[in-house]
């Protein structure tokens, strides 16, 4: 896995996504603390309906969160669009570091 790539994984239907979101948060928290809480280490989520009845939630892991992404079998992807993202785990300062 390249550390310069973003990663993504589907968490499934929004109604069922709370458990995997919490699992990602817990895994991230330990690795974030061990890494010294870097501003560029973050996980974001986005709800996307793409014309379907139910929303699907996708988690996006920044390149610095590659180790966490690997734990969830996330796949490499291009950086996500900032629009519609919500910070799941990491520092609020990650927004400026990763998107501005």
Give the residue ranges of DSSP H helices in 3-93: 18-34, 66-71
Instruction: Determine, yes or no, domain membership for 53.
Output: yes
Instruction: Determine, yes or no, domain membership for 12.
Output: yes
Instruction: Determine, yes or no, domain membership for 13.
Output: yes
Instruction: Determine, yes or no, domain membership for 52.
Output: yes
Instruction: Determine, yes or no, domain membership for 1.
Output: no
Helix (H, G, I), strand (E, B) or coil at 14: helix
CA atoms within 13 A on the CB side of 74: 32
**38-59 pLDDT, tens per residue?**
999 999 999 886 666 668 899 9
Instruction: Determine, yes or no, domain membership for 27.
Output: yes
Instruction: State how many domains the chain has.
Output: 1
* Boundaries of domain holding 43: 6-99
What confidence score (pLDDT) does residue 53 get?
62
What confidence score (pLDDT) does residue 27 get?
97
Q: Torsion angle of alpha carbons 26, 31, 36, 42, nearest 10°?
A: -70
pLDDT above 70 as % of the chain: 91
């Amino acid at each position: 896995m390249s550390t310069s790539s973003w990663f993504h994984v589907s968490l499934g239907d929004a109604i069922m996504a709370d458990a995997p979101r919490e699992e990602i948060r817990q895994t991230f928290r330990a690795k974030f603390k061990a890494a010294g809480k870097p501003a560029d280490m973050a996980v974001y989520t986005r709800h996307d309906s793409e014309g379907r009845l139910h929303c699907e939630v996708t988690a996006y892991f920044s390149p610095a969160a590659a180790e966490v992404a690997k734990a969830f079998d996330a796949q490499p992807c291009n950086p996500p669009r900032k629009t519609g993202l919500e910070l799941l785990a990491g520092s609020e300062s990650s927004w400026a570091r990763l998107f501005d």
